[in-house]
């Protein structure tokens, strides 16, 4: 399976928690979101352990994708680090992990309807 990791923004903690509880209940979803208090590789890796209803994915491969992103996206990381720093209080860095195969299945289902 292929996974895609990207950082999508900064949001207040309360909004993220509310979103995560609504979104994360589907174990067959194509994506999941991570929230981290800091813009660091360690923070994002720790965030994978905080997902309330983890999909049945290859989490070693997900972690490898996060590391790969970190190694090749210095400009993006610096941007999000600065954004988080500017709104530091009560906010989280939000990242998304997408399971490409599950996403493809969702799109196929939409077009078959």
Q: How many CB atoms lie within 10 A of CB 16?
A: 19
Please choose, from the candidates 41, 54, 30, 39, the residue with its C-alpha nearest in 3D space to the C-alpha of residue 9: 39
Task: Tell me the pLDDT band of 106, cut-offs 50, 70 and 90.
Answer: low
Please measure the distance between the N-terminal and C-terminal CA atoms of the chain and give it in whole angstroms. 25
Mean pLDDT for the stretch of residues 14-22: 86
pLDDT, tens digit, for every residue of 66-96? 999 999 999 999 999 999 999 867 999 999 9
Cβ contacts of 29 within 8 Å, gap of 6 or more? 23, 55, 102
Mean pLDDT for the stretch of residues 41-65: 92
Rounded CA gap, 81 and 101, in Å?
30
pTM above 0.75, yes or no: yes
Task: Tell me the pLDDT band of 113, cut-offs 50, 70 and 90.
Answer: low
């Amino acid at each position: 399976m292929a996974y895609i990791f990207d950082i999508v923004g900064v949001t207040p903690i309360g909004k993220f928690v509310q979103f995560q509880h609504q979104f994360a209940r589907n174990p067959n979803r194509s994506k999941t979101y991570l929230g981290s208090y800091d813009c660091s590789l360690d923070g994002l890796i720790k965030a994978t352990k905080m997902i309330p209803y983890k999909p049945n994915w290859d989490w070693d491969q997900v972690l490898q994708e996060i590391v790969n992103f970190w190694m090749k996206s210095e400009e993006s990381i610096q941007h999000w680090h600065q954004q988080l720093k500017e709104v530091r209080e009560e906010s989280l860095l939000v990242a998304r992990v997408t399971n490409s195969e599950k996403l493809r299945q969702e799109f196929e289902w939409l077009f078959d309807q």
